[in-house]
Amino acid sequence: MPSREISARAAAEEQRVLSLKPVLAPKHGKYGEHPHHGYDEWPGDGPLVVLLHGGYWRYDRMHLTPFASYLARQGFSVLLPGFRRSGGAGGYPETFDDVARIVDELPAGRPYVLAGHCSGGHLALWCAARGLLPADSPWHSTRLPDAVLALAPITDLTATRRDDLSDGAAVQLMGAEEFEERLPLVDPVTLLAEARTTGVRTVLLHGDADEEVPHGQFTDYAKVHDDLETVVLPDTGHYALIEPDNPAAAAVADVLWRLSRERDADAGECS
């Protein structure tokens, strides 16, 4: 399959955002023994956001540190974890082992919104669906995020393989021979096909000018997730969502505030 062609505008946006200088977090920690089992933290008294980075399951979290720092300036407490990644120590099952451990351990019982961009959005949607996994799966859990915000997420691994996004990223994550066998355990569209909901408040936000993830991934996920909220930002590309001080990033922060307030209101009604 030939390489994707993107517009000069999209290419410039990608270059601009991914070449931002990483931001050093005020606090760092470890949740395991592997070198990738680290996290950056911007602590505070505001609502907690656990942020899963993108990069097609291959790249590290440094490109998301400017956005994490931006969210901290908007009043959030932010955790940005690392995890084992494709092409090295990760892929299936290690990447999923680590992300499950992150959401089970890092919030330490504190209410939070789980957000993820691109492949990080895939992992966030998967975390919300862990209650749908077979009871004997090591990833099955009823300790789910309070809410999920998926930013221009990968939702369909079969379509990702078909479209050869990022030069075979889905096959590298899953394995070529084992792809179909593993799909029902980690693919958001497949997991929702019968259940129709995860039971977790979920928002999918993307730009209408996204040239990185085919828009069919967003609409196909909405077809199987009955109570999904979709937010579409006009004249907005894929990387603008995580560009500090971009109006798109401000819109992301607004949704995070709304989800946090909804959660607090629901908790008040139940008390």
What range does the domain containing 84 cover? 8-270
> Total domain count for the chain?
1
Which of 213, 201, 200, 208 is CA-nearest to residue 152? Answer: 213
Cβ neighbours for 194, distance < 8 A, ≥ 6 positions apart: none
Q: Can you say how many angstroms the Cα of residue 36 is from the centroid of all Cα atoms in its chain?
A: 17
Whether 151 maps to a domain, the answer reads: yes
Q: Is the residue at 140 inside a domain?
A: yes
Straight-line distance from the first to the last Cα atom of the chain, in angstroms, rounded to the nearest whole number: 55
CATH number at residue 153: 3.40.50.1820
Residue 3 in any domain: the answer is: no
Residue-wise pLDDT tens digits, 116-130: 999 999 999 999 999
> 48 lies in a domain?
yes
Q: What pLDDT score was predicted for residue 1?
A: 36
Q: For position 270, what pLDDT does the model report?
A: 62
Q: In this structure, are residues 233 and 255 in contact, taking their beta carbons and an 8 Å threshold?
A: no
Q: What is the predicted pLDDT for the residue at 267?
A: 73
Does residue 2 sit within a domain?
no
Q: What is the pLDDT of residue 2?
A: 39
In a domain, 1, yes or no: no
Largest CA distance in the chain: 56
Do the domain assignments include residue 110? yes
* H-type alpha helices, the chain: 8-18, 65-73, 94-105, 119-128, 157-162, 169-174, 179-186, 188-195, 215-224, 247-270
- Please tell me the predicted confidence (pLDDT) of residue 263: 83
Per-residue pLDDT tens listing for the chain (271 residues): 335 689 999 999 999 999 999 999 999 999 999 999 999 999 999 999 999 999 999 999 999 999 999 999 999 999 999 999 999 899 999 999 999 999 999 999 999 999 999 999 999 999 999 999 999 999 999 999 999 999 999 999 999 999 999 999 999 999 999 999 999 999 999 999 999 999 999 999 999 999 999 999 999 999 999 999 999 999 999 999 999 999 999 999 999 999 999 988 887 666 5
- Model pLDDT for residues 237-259, shown as the tens digit of each residue: 999 999 999 999 999 999 999 99
Query: Residue 251: which of 262, 267, 235 has the closest Cα?
Result: 235
